[in-house]
Amino acid sequence: MTTSSLDAPDQPASGAPRQPLTISVTGCGYLGAVHAASMAALGHRVIGIDVDAGKIDSLRRGEPPFFEPGLAELLADNAATGRLTFTTDASAATEASVHFICVGTPQKRGENAADLRFVDAAVAGLLPYLKAGDLVVGKSTVPVGTAQRLAALVAEAEPRATLVWNPEFLREGKAVQDTLQPDRLVYGMPGDAAAARAAEGVLNAVYHQAIKAETPVVVTDYATAELVKVAANSFLATKISFINAMAELCEAAGADVTQLADAIGYDKRIGRQFLNAGLGFGGGCLPKDIRAFMARAGELGVDQALTFLKEVDAINMRRRVRMVDLAREELGGSIVGRRIAILGAAFKPDSDDIRDSPALNVAAQMSLQGAQVLVTDPRAIGNATEKWPDLKFVETVEEAAYGAELVLLLTEWAEYLALDPVALKQTVASARIIDGRNALDAKAWRAAGWTYRALGRR
């Protein structure tokens, strides 16, 4: 049975939905696949829709098209209940009353601005199937002003449907946990008070478990909700670049950025999280989001307000160049023809995502500058080989390190942190390591006879 969104199901005392909703999720990538499986886990009936038949086939088989801890289990459990289905047929959305838009908003080629073509296509694809009382819920990260524009399209297609903006804050590698137990929920509502009230009831029914757990809910307007997301990512990027700027200072002054981060992090107003100095941020979110934010600020005539993000971006990109320089320094002035092992290809551990990966950027720079680079990663080699066919990838640390004159740790996978420096010393030609993530136990590596260097440390 289809539930009208304006008849939002009441919440029973237990917090379980008295009347589960039928939900469509358009876009089954990192965000959408996790969101679809998580909504099914909350007891709703979910139809995942994507134009990519390969992705849909793989999700139907219960195999996530990317690596995300916990997702395979969630897909299997919920497919077995019959609550979670996947299709390429957009018309399947007819059965649902709540429609999540979870497609990507990458950076436009050659520009800083966000490319909204997938969001526009997802909404356009949904419009013919909207019914009275339906709720369209945008989760993608979009430039401020987008929701207002899309709301007009929704109203034109079905005046009794409502659009809300409900940004997602999940981290890759922790996406399931972040979706099921979010730090907060943000509801960006239309100006019409009755529609906003009804939409709030439906969203509370969708997220009944988080609501029961008294997760803070910020109910606001479209523009604020859109801005919350990019502001949060800009803040996180700024925090990382701040500590990396301190790392530059530490290198110049002979100080230690990890101790500095610990010391300032004890101040509760500052906090230690996101103060890990090293190779900086990458991935499909932080870099493109701060650039799209600057572009949008320019369009709004307030570019000066975000000029600092240019510096945040520049500090971040400088770390990648510094890593190559440090390697050159370690190898006595030249990397040409030198064997270098690179541990890590993913932009962060527990992910196979290589979008704007700092590790692969460094590997490519070194390879172009004449070094013989062998890259390994526990999960990302498939994606990396496809994107970077000119780089050489190997399956294991031992293969990468065999005969290497220098080892670079560029993605801090747990298994790399657990490496035995005594054993690895037998494999390499010279026991030199640069810790690009300040994640290894420097004392243990030095005690095993390695020359240990790191960004931002003596």
Which residues are at the interface with ligand UGA (CB under 6 A)?
141, 168-172, 233, 236, 240, 274-276, 278, 280-283, 285-286, 289, 347-348
Comparing CB distances to ligand UGA, the nearer of 170 and 210 is: 170
Q: How far apart are CA 292 and CA 289, in angstroms?
A: 5
Contacts of 396 (CB under 8 A, 6+ apart): 376
Distance between alpha carbon 12 and the CA centroid of its chain, in Å?
A: 34
User: If phi over 0 gives left and psi between -120 and 50 gives alpha, with beta otherwise, what is residue 245?
Assistant: alpha
DSSP state of 389: T
Catalytic residue among 28, 102, 250, 285: 285
Comparing CB distances to ligand UGA, the nearer of 350 and 405 is: 350
**Residue 30 burial class via C-beta count within 10 angstroms: exposed 0-12, middle 13-18, buried 19 and up:** buried
Q: How far is the CB of 238 from ligand UGA (least distance, A)?
A: 12
Q: How far is the CB of 433 from ligand UGA (least distance, A)?
A: 18
Taking alpha carbons only, the member of 306, 236, 244 closest to residue 271 is 236
**Residue 240 burial class via C-beta count within 10 angstroms: exposed 0-12, middle 13-18, buried 19 and up:** buried
- Identify whether 250 is a catalytic site residue: no
Q: Is there a contact between 352 and 69 (Cβ–Cβ < 8 Å)?
A: no
Nearest 5 degrees, angle CA 88-CA 32-CA 138? 100
Comparing CB distances to ligand UGA, the nearer of 134 and 172 is: 172
Q: How far apart are CA 122 and CA 117, in angstroms?
A: 9
Comparing CB distances to ligand UGA, the nearer of 5 and 438 is: 438
* Backbone CA torsion sign across 371, 372, 376, 381: positive
DSSP state of 30: H
Q: How far apart are CA 260 and CA 253, in angstroms?
A: 13
* Backbone CA torsion sign across 150, 39, 292, 288: negative
The CA-based diameter of the chain, rounded to the nearest angstrom, is 71
Comparing CB distances to ligand UGA, the nearer of 160 and 272 is: 272
Q: How far is the CB of 282 from ligand UGA (least distance, A)?
A: 4
Distances in whole angstroms, Cα of residue 449 to Cα of each of 338, 412, 432, 440, 442: 21, 21, 9, 14, 11
Q: How far is the CB of 241 from ligand UGA (least distance, A)?
A: 9
In 3-state terms, what secondary structure has residue 136? Answer: strand
Q: How far apart are CA 35 and CA 398, in angstroms?
A: 37
Q: How far apart are CA 22 and CA 201, in angstroms?
A: 15
Comparing CB distances to ligand UGA, the nearer of 240 and 294 is: 240
Comparing CB distances to ligand UGA, the nearer of 335 and 381 is: 381
Distances in whole angstroms, Cα of residue 370 to Cα of each of 205, 377, 405, 417: 58, 22, 14, 28
Question: Which H/E stretch holds residue 214?
Answer: none
Q: How far is the CB of 3 from ligand UGA (least distance, A)?
A: 28
Taking alpha carbons only, the member of 78, 81, 87 closest to residue 37 is 78
Q: How far is the CB of 346 from ligand UGA (least distance, A)?
A: 9
Q: How far is the CB of 285 from ligand UGA (least distance, A)?
A: 3
Q: How far is the CB of 206 from ligand UGA (least distance, A)?
A: 18
Q: Is there a contact between 287 and 322 (Cβ–Cβ < 8 Å)?
A: no
Comparing CB distances to ligand UGA, the nearer of 201 and 283 is: 283
Q: How far is the CB of 174 from ligand UGA (least distance, A)?
A: 8
Just list the catalytic residues: 285
